[in-house]
Structure 1
C-alpha cells in the first residue's frame, strides 16, 4: 500500500511540474506584462528599469526556475488589477465561493445520479431506465452556459422562485449548482448503470438469489458495493471538472468565485492572478485524483498490489 501511495504521489508531482512549465510558457506567449503595467507613453528607461525589476531580462530557464521556486512558496507576484494585494491573496479570497458552489453541485450529482443509475440498471427496459437514458443524453448534449440561461429565464425571470444572479444564500446557489451538475449527473448515471448491469449478471448475484437473499440486499449490499468501484474512479474527474467548470457558470450567474475572477483577470491582463487561478485549480484537480486513487486501492486490493 505504501509503495502504491508513493508511486501515485510522485506521478502527481510530475504532473504538477509539467503544469508549471505549461503555465510559465503560456504566460510568456500571451505577451509581455510590461505593456499592461506601464502607460503607452512610457520612456525606454522606464521600460528597461521595470524589465530588470521583474527579472524579464534573464534567460528563460532562469526565469522558469525562479517562477518554480516562488510557486512552491505560493508567491505568484502582486496583482496588477487589484492593487495592494498579492495574486495568491486575491484567489484565496474568492475560493470559498467557488468551493461552496462546487460542493453543492457535487452533492446534487451524487444524490441524483447514483440512485438513478442503480434503479435504471435493476429495472432495465422500464420507464425509469428510459428517463435515465434521456437525462444522460441531454446532460451530455446541452452546453452548461445555455442550460444556465434557460434555468435563469424559467425559474428566476418567469416564475420568480430564485434570484437571477449574484452571491448570497442557498437560493442564489441552486440554479448555478444545477447547471454545473447536469453534465456530471448524466455521466455518473451512465457509469453507474453500466457497472450495475455488469455486476448483476455475475454468478455470485445469481447464487445469492438462489439462496433467497432479499432483492434489496442483493442490489445494495452485494451488487452496488462491487459496482461502486467504477463511479468512484470518476469522482476525481468529477470534483476537478466541477471546479474548473465554474468559470463558465460563475460568469453566467455573476457568482464571485475563482472562475469569474479568472475571466476578470484575463480581461485585465493580470497575469499573476491568472497563473494563481490555474495553479490552484491544477493542485485541487491533482489532489482529488490522488485521494480517489487511494480510495480505489482501499476498495479493490488488486489495484494496490499491481501498483
Structure 2
C-alpha cells in the first residue's frame, strides 16, 4: 500500500512540475509583461530598471527556476490589476466562494446521481429507468451557461424564488450549483447504472438471492459495493471539473470566486493572478485524482499491488 501511495504521489508531483513549465512558457509567449507594467511613454531607463527588478534579463532557464522556487513558497508576485495585493492574496480571497459553490454542486451530483443510477439499474426498463435516461440525455446535451440562464429566468425572474445573481447564502448558491452539477449528474448516473447492470447479472448476486438474502442487502451491500469502483474512478474528474468548470457559471451568476477572477484577470492582462489561478486549479485537480487513487486501492485490493 505504501509503495502504491508513493508511486501515485510521485506521478502527481511530476504532473504538477510539467504544468508549471507550461504555465511559465505560456506567460512568456503571451507577450512582454513590461507592456502591462509600464506606460506607453516609459523611458529606456525605466524599462531597464523594471527588467532588472523582475529578472527578465536573465537566461530563460534561470527565470523558470526562480519562478518554481517562488511558486513553492506561494509567492507569485504582485497583482497588476488589484494594486497593493499579491496574486496569492487575491486568489485566497476568492477561494471560499469557489469551494462553497463547487462543494454544493459536488454534493448535489453524488446525492442525486448514485441513488438514481442504482434504482435505474434495479428497475430496468421501467418508468424510473426512463426518467433517469431523460435526465442523462438532457444533462449531457444542455450547455451549462445556457442552463444557468434558463434557471435564472424561470426561478429567479418569473417565480422570484431565488436571487438572480451575486454572492450570499444558500439561496444565492442553489441555481449556479444546479447548473454546474447537472452535467455531472447525467454522467455519474449513466456510469452507475451501467456498472450496476453488469454486477447484477453476476453469479454471486444470483446466489445471494437464491439463499434468501434481502433484496436491499443484495443491492446496496453486495452489488453496489462492487459496482462502486466505476463511479469512484470518475470522482476525480467530477471534483476537478466542478471546480475548474466554475469559470463559466461564476461569470453568468456574477459569483465572486476564482473562476470569475480568472476571467477578470485575463481581460486585465494580470499575468501573476492568471498563473496563480491556473496552478491552483491544477493542484486541486491532481489532489482530487490522488484521493481517487487511494479510494480505488481501498475498494479493490488488487490495485495496491500495481
Normalization by structure 2: what TM-score? 0.99
Task: Supply the distance in 2 between the matched residues of 1:65 and 1:145 (Cα, whole angstroms).
Answer: 39
Task: Supply the distance in 2 between the matched residues of 1:184 and 1:164 (Cα, whole angstroms).
Answer: 23
Task: Supply the distance in 2 between the matched residues of 1:89 and 1:236 (Cα, whole angstroms).
Answer: 27
For 1:238, the equivalent position in structure 2 comes to 238
Tell me the SS of whatever aligns to 1:269: coil
* 1:28 shift after superposition: 0.7
* 1:189 shift after superposition: 0.2
Task: Supply the distance in 2 between the matched residues of 1:135 and 1:27 (Cα, whole angstroms).
Answer: 41
* 1:8 shift after superposition: 0.1
Task: Supply the distance in 1 between the matched residues of 2:60 and 2:10 (Cα, whole angstroms).
Answer: 26
* 1:171 shift after superposition: 0.2
* 1:135 shift after superposition: 0.9
For 2:300, the equivalent position in structure 1 comes to 300
Task: Supply the distance in 2 between the matched residues of 1:29 and 1:176 (Cα, whole angstroms).
Answer: 34
Tell me the SS of whatever aligns to 1:41: coil
Tell me the SS of whatever aligns to 2:212: coil
Task: Supply the distance in 1 between the matched residues of 2:113 and 2:6 (Cα, whole angstroms).
Answer: 32
* 1:115 shift after superposition: 0.5
Is residue 43 of structure 2 the alignment partner of residue 43 of structure 1?
yes
For 2:284, the equivalent position in structure 1 comes to 284
1:47-101 Cα deviation digits (max 9, x unpaired): 1211111111111111111111111111100101111111011101100000000
Is residue 140 of structure 2 the alignment partner of residue 118 of structure 1?
no
Tell me the SS of whatever aligns to 2:230: helix
* 1:214 shift after superposition: 1.1
**RMSD of the alignment, in Å?**
0.7
Task: Supply the distance in 2 between the matched residues of 1:221 and 1:298 (Cα, whole angstroms).
Answer: 16
Tell me the SS of whatever aligns to 1:285: helix
1:86-127 Cα deviation digits (max 9, x unpaired): 101110110000000000000000010001000000011111
Task: Supply the distance in 2 between the matched residues of 1:251 and 1:33 (Cα, whole angstroms).
Answer: 26
For 1:252, the equivalent position in structure 2 comes to 252
Task: Supply the distance in 2 between the matched residues of 1:57 and 1:186 (Cα, whole angstroms).
Answer: 51
Any gaps of 5 or more consecutive residues in structure 2? Answer: none
Task: Supply the distance in 2 between the matched residues of 1:300 and 1:11 (Cα, whole angstroms).
Answer: 20
Task: Supply the distance in 2 between the matched residues of 1:135 and 1:104 (Cα, whole angstroms).
Answer: 19
For 1:160, the equivalent position in structure 2 comes to 160
* 1:164 shift after superposition: 0.3
Task: Supply the distance in 2 between the matched residues of 1:273 and 1:302 (Cα, whole angstroms).
Answer: 42
Task: Supply the distance in 2 between the matched residues of 1:126 and 1:28 (Cα, whole angstroms).
Answer: 57
For 2:270, the equivalent position in structure 1 comes to 270
1:136-162 Cα deviation digits (max 9, x unpaired): 111111110010001001100111100
* 1:38 shift after superposition: 0.9
Q: How many residues align?
A: 306
* 1:216 shift after superposition: 0.8
Task: Supply the distance in 2 between the matched residues of 1:62 and 1:142 (Cα, whole angstroms).
Answer: 46
For 1:65, the equivalent position in structure 2 comes to 65
For 2:196, the equivalent position in structure 1 comes to 196
- Runs of 4+ aligned residues of structure 1 deviating over 2 Å after TM superposition are none
Moved more, 165-174 or 57-66: 57-66
Normalization by structure 1: what TM-score? 0.99
